Amino acid sequence: MRTIAAFAVPVALLVASSARGQNAPAADLRAGSPTPITAHRTGTFNAVMPVRSPESEPDRWTERFQFGGDLTNWDYDLAEESFSLYVPEDYSADGEPYGVLVWVSPFDDGAIPDQLRTVLAERRLIWISPNGAGNRRHLFPRSGLTLDAAANVAEFYNVDPERIYLSGLSGGGRLSAMLGIDYPEVFAGAYPIIGVTSYLQIRLESTPGLFVPFFPRPTNRVLNRAKRQPFVIMTGEGDYNREECRLTAEAHERDGFTNLHYIEIEGMGHEMPSAQNFTMGLDLLLGAADSAP
């Protein structure tokens, strides 16, 4: 495991509210009201998608997550959902395929922070994030919409299917950790920030009766693939999830993850990292993916 203790640059919050907040605001429609997606559109906009991922169907999702409950009341109509996208202007339908960063927000707003546009453009990445899929929503639609985001961007853009990555903040980081491990055939790597979950039962050192939030262990076939893919965990020295992030990184390394990176930012709390620090983790994600067997 590569552990990085980084110094914080002056923090510029890249979200409208603190990541500590659990009451998500209404979806930010600064990029305009959602309209049906058109192939190869560039810029920053909100769109309605027509293609539901097979993996987001209740029966398939229940099987993958070993969920025994009834999802009827939690299912959703994709036509009533929207996604926030940023497609760099240099993208071309006939050019080099782009990569994708699927973002899971803890809020209802999936818009890209302004400071990250240049970061993604320089790395030839498309940003896509479901709106209305913050921490207050049930796990099933949140994860289903994240899978739908990956399916639709591959349907309507010239993308490299081996360069579709997943990241998220706080509660979105927890979900990105879960989906990155449970769906390694969809996502080439995961980058959870200030929030993480595990298939392992990891007891907290500070409170021995509590565990890092966990989910059912995937099948060996799924897990063995996930262990070879990049997994970047970022936290801050003042993050109240710091211990969970550190212990999860250590436990995953012991369990065989070979492209694992743990980053702890000095002076950072439970918040969105600065653009510079976010980029450090993103570059580890992309570089580890390039070097994966």
Per-residue pLDDT of the chain (293 residues; tens, 9 = 90+): 877 866 443 322 222 233 333 333 344 445 579 999 999 999 999 999 999 999 999 999 999 988 888 898 999 999 999 999 999 999 999 999 999 999 999 999 999 999 999 999 999 999 999 999 999 999 999 999 999 999 999 999 999 999 999 999 999 999 999 999 999 999 999 999 999 999 999 999 999 899 999 999 999 999 999 999 999 999 999 999 999 999 999 999 999 999 999 999 999 999 999 999 999 999 999 996 665 55
Residue 118's CB: how many other CB atoms inside 10 A? 12
Residues of 88-114 as b/e, b for ≥16 C-beta within 10 angstroms?
beebeeeeeebbbbbbbbbbbbbbbbe
Predicted local distance difference test score (pLDDT) of residue 70: 87
How far is the C-alpha of 44 from the C-alpha of 85, rounded, in Å?
A: 6
Distance of alpha carbon 264 from alpha carbon 281, whole angstroms: 10
Q: What is the pLDDT of residue 273?
A: 98
Residue 4, pLDDT score? 80
What confidence score (pLDDT) does residue 106 get? 97
pLDDT at 28: 46
Tens of pLDDT, residue by residue over 244-275, are: 999 999 999 999 999 999 999 999 999 999 99
Task: Report pTM.
Answer: 0.90
Dihedral in degrees, nearest 10, Cα atoms 253, 65, 191, 110? -170
What domain count does the chain have? 1
Q: Which domain holds residue 83?
A: 2-291
pLDDT of residue 112: 97
Asked if residue 109 lies in contact with residue 28, where contact means CB atoms within 8 angstroms, the answer is yes
Q: What is the pLDDT of residue 26?
A: 42
The domain spanning residue 202 has which CATH number? Answer: 3.40.50.1820
Q: Read off the pLDDT of residues 48-88 as tens digits, 9 standing for 90 and up.
A: 999 999 999 999 999 998 888 889 899 999 999 999 999 99
Token readout for 56 is 């987001």
Model pLDDT, residue 289: 60
- Predicted local confidence at residue 67, as pLDDT: 86
Residue 100 per-residue DSSP state: E
